[in-house]
Structures are given as C-alpha cells and as structure tokens.
Structure 1
Amino acid sequence: MNWYDLVRGLHIIAVIAWMSGMMYLPRLYAYHTETAPPGTEFDAHFQVWEAKLLRIIINPSMILTFIFGLILIYIDATQIRGGWDFLLKPWMLTKIAGIIFLSAWHGFLAGARKKLARGERPKTGKFWRATNELPFIAAVIMVIAVTTEFLG
C-alpha cells in the first residue's frame, strides 16, 4: 500500500471539512447577529448550532489536518525529498503562512462564538458576510503554491 497517497487523501478530506466549517460559521454569525436578539430562544438555538459546528466539525478536522500534514512532511523529508530543506522553499513558506492565517482565523471565530454566547455583538452581519470567504482565498493560494511549487 502506498501510505503517502493514503495520508495525502486523508489530509485533503480533513482540509475540506475544516474549510467548509470555517466558511459556514461566519454565515451563522451573520444570521445570528441580525435575527436573534440576546436572550431569546432563537439566540439559544444559534448558540447550540455554532458550538456544535466548532466542537464536532471544525476543531476535529483542524486537528486531523495538522496530524496528516505533519505525517506528510515527515514522509517527504525522510523518504521522498531526502531532507528537510524543502521547508524553506517559497512554495512551502507560502503554505506555512496560510496555515498560520487559517489557525488564527479559527481562533478568531472561536472567540467570536464566545462573545455571541455572552450576548455581545461586536461585529455586524455585513462583516461576517464579507469575511466568510477568507478561508477559501487562503486555500486557493496554498493549493496553487503547493501543486505547482509556485515561487520556487
């Protein structure tokens, strides 16, 4: 069995789940902010949906993305590329920058869920709609950098 291809496939599946959740959660926040005043029954429903999306889909898929990604790096370094120097190539640094951004965005979304649960509404529905595609844009840049080894 080709373990590298299996791990790569599982990594891609985990990334898809992570991105899907991080693109959907801001939409929930937009609807929550605009239609569910704090303390209402609808507000409580949104809080449950948002918490479950983070706990059941977004958090586990991020963890799996990291695990499979680190395994791929290890296999690349020890069995395919013959060293760790590819980690300093511009295409890989682009991917690492994307990973840092997506991790920070994940943390921002988790923090926003806590604020909404406390009844705070620091961001508007317009903000959440304008930013819900950020993970997709980051993913496009990362995939193009990796698949073409663009920038070096």
Structure 2
Amino acid sequence: MSGLLSLAYPWTLSLHVISMVAWMAGLFYLPRLFVYHVEDAAGDAGKQGLFETMERKLLKLIMNPAMIATWIFGLVLVATPGIVVWGAVWPWTKAAAVIGMTAFHMWCGAQRKALAADPAHRAGRHYRIMNEVPTILLIVIVVSVIARPF
C-alpha cells in the first residue's frame, strides 16, 4: 500500500492543490457576497433572493465539495511515507491552520443561513473584517509547508 501511495504522490498532491485552490476561491468570495448582500440588497426582495441563491450555490456546489476533496487528498498525503515528518513543527502549524480554515468554512455556512433569516443581523464592516481570516490562515499554511521555518 505504501508503494502505491508513493507512486500516486504527484497526482495526489496535484489534486490536493487543485481542490485547495477551489476551496480558497470560495472562502475569499463568500464573505464578500455577504458584504454586498447586507449593503446592497436591504429592502429589495429580488436582490435578496439573488444573493441567497448565489451564496447557497457557492457553498453547496463549489466550497463543500472542494473542502471535502482537500481534506481527503491531504489525508492521503499524510499517509504517504516520507512526506510528513511529525517531529517537526510545520505539520502541526499547518494542521491547526487547516482546522481553523474548516471552522471558518462552517462559520460561513452558519452566516449564510443567518442572512437568509435576517439580512440586517450584521453590518457589512463585520464581513469585510472576517474576509481577512482565510488570507491569514492561507499565509500560515503556505509558509509552514514551503518555508518550514519551525
């Protein structure tokens, strides 16, 4: 089995990066949609419905499958012999940031439902600030894996 994982490594890594890019695109865009939803759709039922549809489809059709694929291919990489040195700090900082990214994803899902129920429950500024969270986590992940400063 370990020989098969080693042979599949370039493909597994490729699929992991592709799915991570799709996931990150959604994580960057969905909070921005929340800003527009709160600021531009207030009192306009047509716009409200449009934003709800866009947010739901982005989350359900792109972000959720991309997150699941990222986790699956990431776990396969972890199981591939010689890829992760658990005595180093970098895999742990990456793991913590990925768990943080997943928590942010879940927060986005909860916010989508909350906005559908009450579009004015948060200000646009709140979502602008929260839009920076995936960027910070992405920096931690990339630096941990590429530069391995720890």
Per the normalisation by structure 1, the TM-score is: 0.88
Q: Once superposed, which parts of structure 1, at least 4 consecutive aligned residues long, lie more than 6 Å away?
A: none
1:133 partner letter: E
1:66 to 63, 71, 85: 71
Q: CA RMSD in A?
A: 1.8
1:65 partner letter: T
The answer as to whether partners of 1:29 and 1:125 remain within 8 angstroms in 2 is: yes
Cα distance in 2 for residues equivalent to 1:111 and 1:126: 18
Structure 1: tracts of 5 or more residues without a match: none
1:147 alignment counterpart: 146
Q: Which is further off, 56-65 or 141-150?
A: 141-150
The answer as to whether partners of 1:15 and 1:62 remain within 8 angstroms in 2 is: yes
- Aligned pairs for 1:37-48 (under 5 A) are 37=42, 40-48=45-53
Identity %, equivalent residues: 36
- Aligned pairs for 1:27-38 (under 5 A) are 27-37=32-42
2:3 alignment counterpart: none
Tell whether 2:17 aligns with 1:12. yes
The count of corresponding residues between Structure 1 and Structure 2 is 145
Cα distance in 1 for residues equivalent to 2:57 and 2:145: 32
Q: How far 1:36 moved relative to its partner?
A: 1.1
Structure 2: tracts of 5 or more residues without a match: 1-5
Per the normalisation by structure 2, the TM-score is: 0.89
- Aligned pairs for 1:1-150 (under 5 A) are 2-37=7-42, 40-75=45-80, 79-80=81-82, 86-150=85-149
